[in-house]
Amino acid sequence: MKQAFLLATVLIAATFCCAQDVAGDWQGTLSAGGAELRLVLHLNKSPDGSLKATLDSVDQSANGIPVNTVTLKDSKLSLDVSAVHGTYEGKVSADAKTISGTWTQGQPMPLEFKRANSPVKTEHKAAKPSDIDGAWLGTLDTGSMKLRVVFHITNTEDGLTATMDSPDQGMKGLPTTSVVRNGTSLTIEAKQIAGVFEGTISTDQSTIDGKWTQGGGTLPLVLKRTKDVAELETKHPQVPTKPYPYREEDVTYNNTVQNVTLAATFTTPKGTGPFPAVLLITGSGPQDRDESLLGHKPFLILSDYLTRHGIAVLRADDRGTGKSTGVFGTATSADFATDVEAGVAYLKTRPEVNLHKIGLVGHSEGGVIAPMVAARNRDVAFIVMMAGTGVPGDQVLVAQGEAIQIASGKNPDDAAKDAAKEKEMLALVETEKDPAVLEKELKEKMAGDVPEAQIGVQIKQITSPWFRYFLTYDPATALRKVTCPVLVINGALDKQVLPAQNLPPIRKALQEAGNKNVEVDELPGLNHLFQTAKTGAPSEYAQIEETMSPTALEKISSWILKQ
């Protein structure tokens, strides 16, 4: 239920020590969708022995893609490349001349690297600065949110180059694939995120007036020179700093039912325990274990707070995301529920955990999945639903779209008309069984309202297995079977899961279950992410420094400790 637009999140590379000498350039070929993509991996050893890396996609002219983490242990090399949502697991040969393994980006693909015969050049030697060298700031207004974009333009002996930042998404230093200037015209392309900026440089070189195109959609984008880029970064004061006053451990566990390995972080309070424990369940879309969104890490903040208050916490990367295996794109909420059950089973193996006090905390879609599991798994002692839904998804989405438009300043009558159109399209997706007929009718409905190049992308999204399941699934079905203690919380300003629409049916379903231990709270002034907000519109998420309100954190923690 999160609405993030454009760009991929990129984190600064973190590295770990390794014993085997793999430093140097490596080349490999990835077969994807009938095409072959040549990749170059640059592994560099720091003075302290740790590894850092960048990745080039030669055929896409994408050089210097940051590799977030590099680990080498017992000849096993692991890479995490958040810029393209990819991971690599490979084994280094005894003679350190090949690395054989699997690249995962939505789906697993074999990839073997071989040492390059000679160094591969990707760096550009600086030249005399051009009149547009420097940092350029612009803001993309998507209607539901505003995202700042910064291009850093540099002149080199090979011509103009640029990197790209998205301060509101925590993205920094994404290399662009080409920068072409023809008089006052400037085009900057970033193939790895399928984005292009086209603009006209003003006569005094103070602005570049243009447009940003990505995924078939186009938005106006005016760039202006900026001097202090550091001031653009939104501060997140709640992010904890190490050393933590508790134990933290990276773990993995298997969902044997669907052949998925989940990678996770397990935190336990100081002391011997056994402690109550919770498994955190992320919202919709491919989420990492911190539920990272627009520069925020809600589950890191929640996990830190709960662990400091005596509760053990397990939080995992979604399947096919981060370091977890499996395919995300073909999974539904029901499939994710089996990943959650695998996490519950793992918690039962930990001696630090009180086996009778294992609970689930789910946010947004996670708040739908938690009752699914609790209804059939007696190992679940309690659940917390954070902005979980109480009605089928088709009703949630129509109300959500209308509320967001109004909160963003749209005329209520116009928002209501758009909501009626959306309701018609969703009804088509639910009832039309012939894919060809459905596609034809959806195209007719979208014509004039959606950019033509984007229609195909949107049709693919709303006809995906996850979307179809979400549209018709009624959360009350599981809630009527949940008899363990339940805490239900919603932000009063939530425009994605409206409390007035969802809290009453949740309460009613739990009453029908005969559940006597239920608390339902609407928290004043909080949005869908449980931030203290003004309007609740998603456009505020990135600009708010607070990641999660202390009121919500205290409510969750104290309620769990009472159980």
Question: Mind giving me the DSSP string for 237-249?
Answer: TT---SSPSEEEE
- Write down the pLDDT at residue 489: 98
352 CB neighbour count, 10 Å cutoff: 17
Is residue 460 located within the same domain as residue 492? no
- Write down the pLDDT at residue 146: 80
pLDDT digits (tens, 9 = 90+) for 183-199: 999 999 987 677 899 99
Is residue 190 located within the same domain as residue 312? no
Considering only residues 348 and 452, tell me which one the structure prediction assigns the higher pLDDT: 348
Domain count, the chain: 4
Percentage, residues of the chain above pLDDT 70: 91
Is residue 23 located within the same domain as residue 169? no
Residue 280 CA to residue 316 CA, distance in Å, equals 8
pLDDT range class, residue 246, cuts 50, 70, 90: very high
Considering only residues 4 and 157, tell me which one the structure prediction assigns the higher pLDDT: 157
How buried is 468 (Cβ within 10 angstroms: 0-12 exposed, 13-18 middle, 19+ buried)?
middle
Contact 382, 519 (CB under 8 A): no
Which domain covers residue 433, as residue numbers?
394-470
Kindly tell me if the per-residue pLDDT of 1 is higher than 50: no
- Write down the pLDDT at residue 123: 60
Residue 305 CA to residue 552 CA, distance in Å, equals 11
- Write down the pLDDT at residue 547: 96
- Write down the pLDDT at residue 68: 84
pLDDT digits (tens, 9 = 90+) for 20-61: 578 888 988 887 544 567 788 989 888 877 888 888 887 666
We report the CATH number of the domain holding residue 95 as 2.40.128.120
Burial state string for 162-182 with b = 16 or more CB within 10 A and e = fewer than 16: bbbbbbbbbbbebbbbbbebe
- Write down the pLDDT at residue 7: 31
We report the CATH number of the domain holding residue 218 as 2.40.128.20
- Write down the pLDDT at residue 73: 85
Section 468-485 average pLDDT: 97
Output the average pLDDT for the chain. 88
What values do phi and psi take at 44, rounded to 5? -125, 140
- Write down the pLDDT at residue 327: 86
Kindly tell me if the per-residue pLDDT of 445 is higher than 90: no
- Write down the pLDDT at residue 106: 65
Kindly tell me if the per-residue pLDDT of 13 is higher than 50: no
Is residue 364 located within the same domain as residue 255? yes
pLDDT digits (tens, 9 = 90+) for 492-508: 999 999 999 999 999 99
Residue 88 CA to residue 73 CA, distance in Å, equals 14
Is residue 272 located within the same domain as residue 364? yes
- Write down the pLDDT at residue 11: 24
80 falls within a domain = yes
Is residue 493 located within the same domain as residue 346? yes
Strand pairing category for 217-226 and 207-214: antiparallel
Is residue 353 located within the same domain as residue 429? no
pLDDT digits (tens, 9 = 90+) for 283-333: 998 999 999 988 899 999 999 999 999 999 999 999 988 889 988 888 999
8 falls within a domain = no
